[in-house]
């Protein structure tokens, strides 16, 4: 699991201006175009906040910096693992809500086979979409954002079960506050994308 992830929100109409086989490269080229002055290098590093590009694509996408992850996907992977340890001890309504939310974003599910890429918008060629870890359309984002709003106020009831069944002395997402902090960051991503009518893409760095 030694990989990093860049989580972006993106205007689907901007990506849709090019054919499906070119959409990932369009987003990647825009994201990595720092040598052309696309990014504000004088801005302080942000954790738990947005990074907006400058230049011609400044209104088309943005990146989110998750707190305490250093850009690593490991935190997201281990959040799913911790959830597996605690979910059987959660209130059924919270369990159903978090199952839906995490399956839609970062968790592979109990069988490890969950897909996090909506079909149709990007092409089906694995050589082209290699490195895309997450791709959710505006419609999917709206549903996930609504689920987050329903479940977030109930998360506090998980603390005792998490402390007993999922907390570890050290490691990624070792305690309940780290778990809920990561979920809260995902909530910010979902809320912003849903408000704009945009999609979400997670790119392997």
Please tell me the predicted confidence (pLDDT) of residue 34: 54
- pLDDT for 124 equals 85
- Digit-coded pLDDT (tens) for 145-200: 999 999 999 999 999 999 999 999 999 999 999 999 999 999 999 999 999 999 99
Low-confidence ranges of the chain (pLDDT < 70): 1-2, 33-47
CA 47/CA 95 separation, integer angstroms: 28
> Which 8-state DSSP code applies to residue 144?
H
Contact 93, 62 (CB under 8 A): no
Residue with tokens 């709003």: 149
pLDDT of residue 138: 97
DSSP code of residue 4: B
Cβ contacts of 188 within 8 Å, gap of 6 or more = 48, 64
């Amino acid at each position: 699991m030694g990989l990093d992830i860049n989580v972006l929100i993106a205007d689907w109409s901007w990506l849709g201006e090019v054919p499906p086989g070119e959409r990932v490269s369009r987003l990647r080229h825009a994201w990595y175009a720092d040598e052309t002055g696309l990014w504000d290098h004088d801005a302080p590093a942000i954790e738990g906040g947005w990074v907006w590009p400058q230049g011609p694509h400044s209104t088309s996408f943005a990146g989110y910096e998750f707190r305490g992850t250093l850009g690593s996907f490991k935190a997201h992977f281990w959040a799913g693992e911790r959830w597996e340890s605690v979910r059987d001890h959660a209130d059924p309504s919270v369990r159903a809500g978090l199952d839906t939310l995490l399956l839609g974003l970062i968790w592979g599910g109990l069988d490890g086979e969950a897909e996090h890429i909506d079909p149709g918008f990007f092409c089906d060629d694995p050589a082209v979409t290699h490195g895309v870890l997450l791709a959710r359309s505006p419609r999917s984002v709206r549903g996930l954002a609504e689920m987050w709003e329903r479940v977030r106020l109930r998360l506090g009831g998980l603390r005792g079960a998490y402390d007993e069944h999922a907390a570890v002395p050290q490691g990624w997402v070792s305690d309940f506050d780290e778990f809920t902090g990561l979920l809260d960051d995902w909530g910010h991503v979902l809320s912003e994308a849903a408000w704009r009518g945009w999609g979400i893409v997670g790119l392997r760095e």
